[in-house]
Amino acid sequence: MNRQRIAAQPESMLQDLGMAPDTRINAELAMVRDFLNCVRTRNTPAAGIDPAVSADQACVIAEMAVRLGKPLRWDQRHERFIDSGEANRLRVRTMRSPWRV
Alpha-carbon span 33 to 94, nearest angstrom: 39
Structural domain includes residue 98: no
Looking at the structure, do residues 36 and 58 belong to the same domain, yes or no? no
Per-residue pLDDT tens over the stretch 22-77: 555 666 677 788 889 999 999 988 877 887 788 888 888 899 899 999 999 998 88
| pTM for the predicted model, two decimal places | 0.53
What distances in angstroms separate CA 79 from CA 44, 57, 101, one per listed residue?
26, 10, 19
Distance CA 58, CA 52 (A): 10
Domain that holds residue 23: 3-41
User: Is 8 a domain residue?
Assistant: yes
Same domain, 55 and 32: no
Tally of structural domains, the chain:
2
